[in-house]
Structure 1
Amino acid sequence: MAGLQSAPSSPIQIFSKRNGSGIVTEPPKFDLESYIQNYKGRTRSNRLIHIGVFSAFLGVDALKLAVREAKAGKDIPRYIDAQTHLETIGPNEPEAVRDNAWIEQTERQNEAETQRLEAELKGYKSNLIKESIRMGNEDLGKHYEAIGDLPHAFEAFGRMRQDNTVEKHSVDVSKHLIEVAVEQKNWIAVTSNILKLKSVMNSGLEDLAPQPYIVASQALAQFDVGNYADAALTFLQCEAGMGQSCATIISPNDVAIYGGLCALATMDRNELQKKVLENSHFRSYLELEPQIRHAISFFINSRYTNCLRVLESYHADYLLDIYLQQHINDLYQMIRSKCIVQYFIPFSSCTLASLNEAFAAPGNAMDKELILMITRGELNARINTVDGLLEARKTNPRDEIQREALRVADEYEKEATTRIFHTQVTMAGLEVKPVKHRSGGFSSTPYTSFDADMSGSGLN
């Protein structure tokens, strides 16, 4: 495959305006063929189409690969999706011409295969052979998944569970359901089946449910919903030796990138040193993506400008990732805010010029960003526009201790008052008690002991 293409062409610019989506015009640092070799199954074509849609430099090459892979299978909607995008940005490519003959032939074959598998499954159910029924549902689920009918694939795989006879069958069902649910982004189903896999591990059958597969799937579910802190801790638990065992969902490189960025955004210096850099398992993943290790090391060593510079140089690559694209700007903003706060901690005040030099782009100022950080409570400081300073708010430790003592005393007084009141109510016989019926149940209508005494005296 050829290297980088020329600058964005007019069809790509037209495509960008038409869809209102941002096209990445910077050249990526990865080689497309090497990158895509890390994946198998449907996630491979998903990532190719994503790169094809959003990359100005790799768009045509990625979509051509996606079209070829779709035609090598039997997923007609996937082929039409890739071919339509390629027709928009690369109309002169041979793969951009829609192959209607292949579509018609594949459609007939898919319908015939669906009818055959359903008929076989019906026969197995008539014979009441559990193993045959289980395998029939598995074959049907794989067929539906291959043709892109994910809802029916999920149903077919789910029906396998009632015919399981050994633990391995339960593991296979959960893996099938996880892979389909990941593509559907049904993270509730992913989490549910991860719990089932964990139960297999707890029963002493770890070889049936490899730990990296379970941890990576769970971490991806946490990451995609924006739970970065939990995702970081889960990614860091991933044991070494993942290899291609998770290639249908995630790659070892992704574990390093997702886990490293989440950790950098949510952990302090000590946690990054102990839980990330000194983590022997995760260090094997960081070796695949040294830029993440460098960024974390720079942050730990208070070299914040270098940390942000490293991350910014890979921003274009991360925008082309199918999961990172939606989260990368939020993660970068969290990391940037942490760097600014840590930079300012040793000073009682520092000049805005020094902050601009360290963190702002050439020709830009940080005033608005600092105002937002102060407003959100991330930075305990104020801006002195007259002298051009960022000044830390002075706090008096004695005042803090006195306020805390007054708060504790006030809480103690309220609790003591409540206890005294409850004691007096009890001593006066006014405590509300449920009335027990002869049947042994309790009445829903409350009576006080005073009411009971009055009714017994005949005064009512």
Structure 2
Amino acid sequence: MADSSQLLTFFTAMDNQGGLVIKDAPKLDLDLYISNYTGRTRFERLFSIGQSSVVLCVDALKAAVTEAKRGKDVRRYREAWECIRVAAPNEPEAQFDQAWADKTEKANKLETHRLETELKGYKNNLVKESIRIGYRDLGEHLESIGDLTAANDNYTRMRPEASTHAHLFDWAKHAIGISLQKRDWSSIQSNINKMLSGSTGEEDLKVQQPYQKTVLGLANLHGEKFYDAAKCFLEVELSVCQQYSNIMSPNDMATYGGLLALASMDRSELQSRVLDSPSFRNYLELEPHIRKATSMFVNGRYSACLATLESYRADYLLDIHLSRHVKKIYSQIRSKCIVQYFIPFSCVTLDSLDKAFAKPGESLEAELITMIKSGALKARIDTVDKLLMAISTDRRAEMQANALEAAKNYEKEALERIRRMNIVAADLEVKGTARARAGLGGDQWFNETRRQMNQGEAASG
């Protein structure tokens, strides 16, 4: 077991490197949590938790070492070992397994050489499908040993050999998998567009759409396009999501979709797209606190909604996709709650707002000032009487502005009609029959007419 001084040394180093350190105990059970995932994301999540959570550090790092030794990526094993030897040097996993590392590296080199030899033979035989499979197998092997750049190069060479749309979809999934691991979110959108360009019908779209929505939702999340990300996650069927456990779990889909919807959608959309959605309702059964928080917001119980979400903040900070965005997501949800709470009133005492939203002994005034300056809250603060007062709009001025705008639009339309009448009266109207007979559009007809005029001038000259 690691003592407190060793953990303190480890997390001090993490903090100095700009890492996220979470002291609160999360609600998740580590073994149950990681069982929802397959593939290389299992190590990524365990390693991230081990570097961030004070409570789960040792267990997560031990599991990360074990997970790394199940695979073929020696670099990942070294990374996990370097962390655990500082955080818990007395654990058995803190002893570097040099024999395993040497054996694995040797086996990796032999397998790489074998696959390269096979691929060379396929190229000599000029069998298109065999060449495609050769690039795919070599890319998958290089990806499994952690050489993502070389793996991506092989996937890129695999694309010209794709002869069907199924082959193109297979290539895109491999390329997107590399982008997910490298956190290259911009290339995901590009690869999805390439995948869509080869779609041949509704059946193709039905098969591909869940995967596209899943990865595009993650790309939008990391681009802080929360509304677009929420729409993507809300449209993925539960039965299909379970096939992509190498990316995310159904629990993640419920969490991402629910949180981002709360941050970006209004009350009516939350009711229709989240709570009443036949497909997403199945996800909410996996994360009942998300459904509870959403119901509380829709029903106007804003402080209870925020309290429910706050109790799960530590869990979300440990998620590899949510952690960097939790602060902004929670801030947007909190701002929405304050605005919705204030809408029915012309003025509210700051004390009542503090009771509803502020922590004990703290004031909400500074946060309200920030919201007013940003335009999120249309109000002003009376610092003498300690009131938050709504800014009443001048209805008369608004009506006059609308009337003037309507008059300008009417005048503009009238002038256009008079101009049209004068053009017709002067016999300057361009008839559409000639261009219709020629089967040409407006621009095509104009270009063709100009070409004929130029030919006539040249002939007369």
- The TM-score range, normalised by the shorter chain, is 0.7 to 0.9
Structure 2: gaps spanning 5 or more residues = 427-445, 456-461
The residue number in structure 1 matching 2:201 is 202
* CA gap 1:420/1:123 in 2 versus in 1, 3 angstroms: same
Structure 2 distance, partners of 1:8, 1:227, is 40
Considering only aligned residues, what root-mean-square deviation do their CA atoms show, in Å? 3.1
For residue 114 of structure 2, the aligned residue among 113, 116, 134 is 116
Q: Secondary structure at the match of 1:391?
A: strand
Superposed, which structure 2 residues align to 1:140-151 within 5 Å?
140-151=138-149
Superposed, which structure 2 residues align to 1:38-77 within 5 Å?
38-77=36-75
TM-score by length of 2: 0.86
Q: Secondary structure at the match of 2:242?
A: coil
For residue 263 of structure 2, the aligned residue among 236, 244, 265 is 265
Letter in 2 for 1:329: K
Superposed, which structure 2 residues align to 1:342-361 within 5 Å?
342-361=340-359
CA offset at residue 439 of structure 1?
A: 11
The residue number in structure 2 matching 1:321 is 319
Superposed, which structure 2 residues align to 1:166-245 within 5 Å?
166-198=164-196, 200=199, 202-205=201-204, 209=207, 211-242=209-240, 244-245=242-243
Structure 1 distance, partners of 2:300, 2:201, is 42
* CA gap 1:38/1:6 in 2 versus in 1, 3 angstroms: farther
For residue 310 of structure 2, the aligned residue among 298, 301, 312 is 312
Q: Secondary structure at the match of 2:381?
A: strand
Structure 2 distance, partners of 1:415, 1:261, is 47
* CA gap 1:124/1:408 in 2 versus in 1, 3 angstroms: same
Structure 2 distance, partners of 1:13, 1:259, is 31
1:391 aligns with 2:408: no
Q: Percent identity?
A: 48
The residue number in structure 2 matching 1:451 is none
Structure 1 distance, partners of 2:302, 2:313, is 17
CA offset at residue 214 of structure 1?
A: 2.8
CA offset at residue 253 of structure 1?
A: 0.6
Structure 2 distance, partners of 1:56, 1:150, is 30
The residue number in structure 2 matching 1:255 is 253
Structure 1 distance, partners of 2:408, 2:79, is 66
1:356–1:366 CA contact under 8 A, matched in 2: yes
1:133–1:163 CA contact under 8 A, matched in 2: yes
The residue number in structure 2 matching 1:402 is 400
Letter in 2 for 1:233: K
Structure 2 distance, partners of 1:202, 1:155, is 30
Q: Secondary structure at the match of 1:327?
A: helix
* CA gap 1:389/1:411 in 2 versus in 1, 3 angstroms: same
CA offset at residue 422 of structure 1?
A: 13
1:382–1:393 CA contact under 8 A, matched in 2: yes
Structure 1 distance, partners of 2:212, 2:298, is 30
2:303–2:357 CA contact under 8 A, matched in 1: yes
2:210–2:241 CA contact under 8 A, matched in 1: no
* CA gap 1:185/1:10 in 2 versus in 1, 3 angstroms: closer
2:50–2:56 CA contact under 8 A, matched in 1: yes
Structure 2 distance, partners of 1:265, 1:113, is 48
Structure 1 distance, partners of 2:385, 2:408, is 42
* CA displacement, residues 289-345 of structure 1 (integer Å, 9 cap, x when unaligned): 011100000000000000000000000000000000011110100000000000000
The residue number in structure 1 matching 2:372 is 374
Structure 1 distance, partners of 2:317, 2:151, is 30
1:242–1:252 CA contact under 8 A, matched in 2: no
* CA displacement, residues 32-85 of structure 1 (integer Å, 9 cap, x when unaligned): 010001111111111111000000011111111111111121112211111111
1:28–1:316 CA contact under 8 A, matched in 2: yes
For residue 282 of structure 2, the aligned residue among 284, 289, 292 is 284
The residue number in structure 2 matching 1:341 is 339
* CA gap 1:437/1:269 in 2 versus in 1, 3 angstroms: closer
1:140–1:156 CA contact under 8 A, matched in 2: yes
CA offset at residue 161 of structure 1?
A: 2.5
Structure 1: gaps spanning 5 or more residues = 428-432, 442-460
The residue number in structure 2 matching 1:129 is 127
Moved more, 144-153 or 291-300: 144-153
Q: Secondary structure at the match of 1:387?
A: coil
CA offset at residue 105 of structure 1?
A: 2.8
Structure 1 distance, partners of 2:419, 2:370, is 47
2:7–2:88 CA contact under 8 A, matched in 1: no
Letter in 2 for 1:101: A
* CA gap 1:259/1:17 in 2 versus in 1, 3 angstroms: closer
Letter in 2 for 1:79: Y
1:15–1:88 CA contact under 8 A, matched in 2: no
